[in-house]
Amino acid sequence: MSAAAERELVEELLAGKHRALARVISKVEDREPGYRDIVSALHEHTGHADVIGITGSPGAGKSTLVDKLAAHYRDRGETVGVIAVDPSSPYTGGAVLGDRIRMASNVGDMDVFFRSMSARGTLGGLSTATADAVKALDAFGKDRIIIETVGAGQNEVDIVRTADTVVVLVQPGSGDDVQMLKAGILEIGDLFVVNKADMDGASRTVADLEEMLHMERDPTAKLDTGGFDKPDHPDHPDGEKIGGDTDTEEADEAVWEPMVLETIAKSGEGVVELIETLDAHAQWLDETGRREVKARQRYAAEIRQLLRADAADLIDEELDRRGGVEAMAERVQNRDTDPYTAASDVLGAIEDCVEQQRE
């Protein structure tokens, strides 16, 4: 695609043409030549949408809940974009569930844009392509963007880099799932939803989640029960803990305490309360300045990720020029060199180029 065609595509997207939006997301997902220029051109038009991440184990009812959320937002006159990140096909890299029937109550509504994307093997189900697709939806003018991710354990912390609000779904009686939250997802959830609350075990699951959140807020309780140290939270760039021993009243006011809600997505019960809580969190983000903090952290993480990817490409090119990594491994095996020297030799050419640019 020529530069002129890329500019025209961007202009059509900004003008609200759904076909252009679909084409841009396809180019982004397939990493077609020129996609970076398109995303770069869209960047200045982003930063207006509220991005909600819905995550949790398979079978928790994420798709049904997302459908209900989109319908309620549409009833309020808001436009919605939905990105459903499905497991990747090991053969094609495509979304193996991409053709399933979803968003049933929003079929035919042009103001609900639904796209199923492949996780492409990315841990946590989010790839860089997904983040770029969010930018396209944001620039298009969607008020709410919902990302539904495949369940993948603690690696779903990836979603924090893309979503303003993270909702973790748990189904009743899923004791193993609740225990899994201790491994990492507990730190990223702004809201925890026990879906299918009409099933047996819902009350126990709610109690378990509330107990775990209490332990997170109370360092003493964690110590007594052999808990673990909490890593830096995305809402707290300096590493302070959520809740617990904050030193000032101002710090306490800047803390969002995750809560547990119950829903029955199939019937829509509890969805209104969930949306009200999502609105409250969005308001809190704006009033405390945390939305800007998250945005800076998101951009910093994205820059690092892009740099690592580009540097890896340069290294692969240099390895190919030297006969490939297998040839180098054979030299190491024959004791003609060692791994450190081999790595240093490959990086030496790249370092020389960097030094020349600095001069």
**How much is the pLDDT for 110?**
77
**How much is the pLDDT for 245?**
39
Q: Are residues 353 and 339 in the same domain?
A: yes
Strand (E) positions, 128-262? 144-148, 165-170, 191-194, 259-262
Share of the chain above pLDDT 70, in %: 74
The larger pLDDT score, comparing residue 234 to residue 297, is at 297
- The residue with tokens 């319908």 is 71
**Looking at 288, 323, 346, which one is the last position of a domain?**
288
* Nearest Cα residue to 79 out of 9, 153, 157, 138: 138
In a domain, 297, yes or no: no
Q: What is the mean pLDDT of residues 155-176?
A: 76
Q: Are residues 54 and 203 in the same domain?
A: yes
> 265 with 196: CB under 8 angstroms?
yes
Q: What is the mean pLDDT of residues 292-303?
A: 90
pLDDT at 41 over 70: yes
In a domain, 80, yes or no: yes
pLDDT at 329 over 60: yes
**How much is the pLDDT for 217?**
66
Q: Are residues 53 and 24 in the same domain?
A: no
**How much is the pLDDT for 31?**
86
What is the average pLDDT score of the chain? 80
CA pair distance 338, 128, nearest whole angstrom: 34
Q: What is the mean pLDDT of residues 49-59?
A: 88
Q: Are residues 32 and 162 in the same domain?
A: no
Instruction: Provide the b/e sequence for 92-119 (b: ≥16 CB within 10 Å).
Output: eebbbeeeeebbeebeeeebbbbbbbbb
330-353 residue pLDDT tens: 999 999 999 999 999 999 888 888
How many structural domains does the chain have?
3
Q: Are residues 173 and 201 in the same domain?
A: yes
In a domain, 300, yes or no: no
Tell me the pTM: 0.80
Q: Are residues 34 and 77 in the same domain?
A: no
Ranked by mean pLDDT, which of 59-68, 117-126, 270-279, 295-304 comes out on top? 270-279
Q: Are residues 239 and 342 in the same domain?
A: no
Domain that holds residue 331: 307-358
Q: Are residues 135 and 5 in the same domain?
A: no
CA pair distance 127, 133, nearest whole angstrom: 10
Q: Are residues 240 and 208 in the same domain?
A: yes
In a domain, 316, yes or no: yes
In this structure, of 72-86, 142-156, 224-238, the range with the lowest mean pLDDT score is 224-238
In a domain, 24, yes or no: yes
pLDDT at 225 over 70: no
175-220 residue pLDDT tens: 656 666 655 667 778 999 998 888 888 888 888 888 888 776 665 5
CA pair distance 36, 14, nearest whole angstrom: 17
